[in-house]
Amino acid sequence: MKTILLMRHAKAERGEAAQRDFDRELAARGRDDAATMGRALLKMTLVPDAIVSSPAARAKQTAEAAARAMKCGVAIRWDASLYDASGSAWLEALRALPAKAESALVVAHAPGIGEAAALLCDAASGSFDVPTAGLLAFEASIERWRDLGAGEASLLWFLRPKVVDKL
């Protein structure tokens, strides 16, 4: 059994005209939301064994802030294929994880996260609408990550930062 956590990067600055999208950093609210979601995972005792993130500034900062808040000591793996990626790229990132990891957090961008979520649980709608810093948890009855396929997981829950703040 594997636990899959998917997180969209937190709220980013708008960026300047000459700035690359890849380099946009988190806004103050984004930093707060990323830490809030990390603390929520810690409270639920769902600290992942592996973290994979897009190396784009806003995703990288989200993964780092969430990991700090969870007191998670694993090294974050930066995966360039998650930047501007489809849902299938998210599944490929999960399939590349070592079998010994029982749970994993993937942090990247929309619309890929919504597509990945739909693929995992074979949702008829085709995509989930995930807000910034939104976090989804799935459970998959597999022994090795490489065996993960579409429709292999069940959605456990879907959290939004505004709801977590009120808990």
| Residue 37, token pair as written in the block | 């979601």
- The model's pTM is 0.95
Position 167 scores a pLDDT of: 59
Mutual angle of helices 28-43 and 57-70, in 10-degree steps: 40
Position 166 scores a pLDDT of: 60
What CATH class has 2-166?
alpha beta
Position 125 scores a pLDDT of: 66
Position 16 scores a pLDDT of: 81
Position 127 scores a pLDDT of: 75
Position 135 scores a pLDDT of: 98
Query: What whole-number distance in Å separates Cα of residue 134 and Cα of residue 113?
Result: 10
**159 within 8 A of 135, measured Cβ to Cβ:** yes
CB atoms within 10 A of CB 33: 28
Position 19 scores a pLDDT of: 87
* Positions in the chain whose pLDDT score sits under 50: none
- What residues does each domain of the chain span? 2-166
Position 58 scores a pLDDT of: 98
